């Protein structure tokens, strides 16, 4: 059929079943006689899709009723600004756990809005680890603590979130590992994720926010489109939402249900990651510089002994239809993204290619 094994970090592979379903419904979605893309966002048909997507996400992630689910635009990157604009209160500060490029960007945006401080950082270690942190160092005037749960570029993951007993809400960028492992939603005040890694196509960002954190800002100058309260009140229909992307999320969520939910997804993901890390650890050619306890289940950066060999491996992999394995430009080498839609067989094909390549080049 000409499809490749796509290890892209994002936008990334979608389940084939989901793509086929979307294809089969493209011209006539839910017997409406029109495509989802041609349908009014105020129509009953679309409202049903929006409602279903929220209901599925709520059930899969076990999101209590005291949290709102919003579908917004502007990517996870706009959340870097919306979070401080909505949550950072006057005379308070926002604390940031700096674990990689994305958290650095989030911190930089918060500094434009108000007082932002670094809670802990692993930049000295080139982000190869999650830094130690002590919750007791947080000022009482902290409006929230921001963390990036999975560092897409550097390949690390937070396995134990800071505990602030909800006195200080934790705001979590879950863009690259949402729905990949079990998360206790009530440990977080806000969770947000751009869709294009584990949820669907780009163009929509999911925000899960505790109701008491909505409408906190004193600023009367907050633009309407940047105000969580407006979107919450309008049920994500204040203006035209990204209807096709929300439709796709609903199909992806249905697919996650068919796999058995998040626990089964996590089991699959752990197996996939283990297979690749074992191959790297057993190899004399390939290596990973990430601290073992902090390894990501979703994004696995690895290298050979030099850039030339990296290039040769990327070539060899591509000849076997294993694509998008080039590492992020800031890290180099290779990176395999093993999001939910990557089947175990895809990782098996990759580890086979690594073994073959190592034999050939030694």
Q: Which of the stretches 41-49, 169-177, 330-338, 349-357 binds ligand PLP when contact is defined by CB under 6 A?
A: 169-177
Handedness of CA 342, 343, 345, 348 (dihedral sign): positive
**Are the C-beta atoms of residues 265 and 341 closer than 8 Å to each other?**
no
Cβ contacts of residue 161 below 8 Å, gap of 6+?
147, 149, 170, 172, 187, 188
Select from 5, 7, 8, 10 the one that contacts ligand PLP (CB under 6 A).
10
Catalytic residue (choose from 54, 197, 303, 326): 197
Residue 197 is among the residues annotated as catalytic for this protein:
yes
As a whole number of angstroms, the distance between CA 114 and CA 91 comes to 9
Tell me the closest approach of the beta carbon of residue 175 to ligand PLP, in angstroms: 4
Which residue from 32, 77, 164, 283 is in contact with ligand PLP, where contact means CB under 6 A? Answer: 77
173 a known binding residue?
yes
Q: Assess 75 for contact with ligand PLP (CB under 6 A).
A: yes
Say whether residue 339 binds ligand PLP (CB under 6 A).
no
Instruction: Choose between 107 and 357: whose C-beta lies nearer to ligand PLP.
Output: 107
* Selected binder of ligand PLP within 99, 142, 148, 243 (CB under 6 A): 148
Distance CA 50, CA 45 (A): 9
- To ligand PLP, the closest distance from the beta carbon of 93 in angstroms equals 22
How many residues at the interface with ligand PLP, by CB under 6 A?
A: 12
What is the enclosing helix (H) or strand (E) of 352?
helix 344-360
Q: Using CB under 6 A, which of the segments 12-20, 72-80, 163-171, 285-293 binds ligand PLP?
A: 72-80
- Contact predicate 145/170, CB 8 Å: yes
The residues, ordered by sequence, that sit 6+ positions from 172 with a Cβ below 8 Å of its Cβ are 146, 147, 148, 149, 161, 188, 190, 191, 192
Distance between CA atoms of residues 312 and 116, nearest Å: 44
Termini Cα distance of the chain: 34
User: Is-catalytic flag, 173?
Assistant: yes
187 is catalytic: no
Q: Give me the least distance between CB of 20 and ligand PLP, in Å please.
A: 25
- The binding site for pyridoxal 5'-phosphate consists of 76-77, 102, 152, 173, 196, 239-240
Point out the residues that are catalytic.
102, 173, 197
Q: What residues are designated binding site for L-glutamate?
A: 42
Which residues here bind ligand PLP, judged by CB under 6 A? 10, 75-77, 102, 148, 152, 173, 175-176, 194, 197
């Amino acid at each position: 059929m000409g499809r490749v094994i796509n290890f892209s970090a994002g936008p990334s592979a979608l389940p084939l079943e989901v793509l086929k379903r979307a294809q089969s419904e493209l011209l006539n979605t839910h017997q409406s006689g029109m495509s989802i893309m041609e349908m009014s966002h105020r129509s009953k048909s679309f409202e049903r899709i929006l409602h279903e997507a929220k209901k599925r996400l709520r059930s899969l992630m076990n999101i209590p009723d005291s949290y709102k689910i919003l579908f917004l635009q502007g990517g996870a990157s706009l959340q870097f600004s919306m979070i401080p604009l909505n949550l950072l209160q006057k005379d308070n500060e926002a604390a940031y756990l700096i674990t990689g490029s994305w958290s650095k960007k989030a911190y930089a945006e918060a500094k434009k809005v108000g007082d932002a401080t670094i809670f802990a950082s692993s930049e000295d270690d080139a982000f190869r680890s999650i830094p130690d942190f002590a919750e007791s160092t947080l000022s009482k005037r902290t409006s929230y603590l921001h963390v990036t749960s999975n560092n897409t570029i550097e390949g690390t993951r937070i396995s134990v979130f800071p505990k602030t007993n909800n006195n200080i809400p934790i705001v979590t960028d879950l863009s690259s590992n949402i729905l990949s492992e079990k998360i206790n939603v009530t440990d977080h005040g806000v969770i947000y994720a751009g869709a294009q890694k584990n949820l669907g196509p780009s163009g929509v960002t999911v925000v899960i926010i505790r109701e008491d954190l909505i409408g906190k800002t004193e600023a009367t100058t907050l633009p309407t489109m940047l105000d969580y309260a407006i979107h919450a009140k309008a049920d994500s229909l204040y203006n035209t939402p990204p209807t096709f992307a929300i439709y796709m999320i609903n199909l992806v969520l249905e697919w996650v249900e068919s796999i058995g939910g998040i626990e089964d997804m996590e089991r699959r993901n752990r197996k996939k990651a283990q297979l690749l890390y074992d191959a790297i650890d057993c190899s004399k050619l390939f290596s990973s510089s990430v601290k073992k306890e902090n390894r990501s289940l979703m994004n696995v950066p690895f290298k050979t002994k030099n850039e030339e060999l990296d290039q040769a491996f990327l070539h060899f992999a591509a000849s076997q239809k294993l694509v998008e394995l080039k590492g992020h430009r800031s890290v180099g080498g290779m990176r395999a993204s093993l999001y939910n839609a990557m089947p175990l067989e895809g990782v098996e094909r990759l580890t086979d290619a690594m073994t073959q390549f190592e034999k050939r080049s030694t």
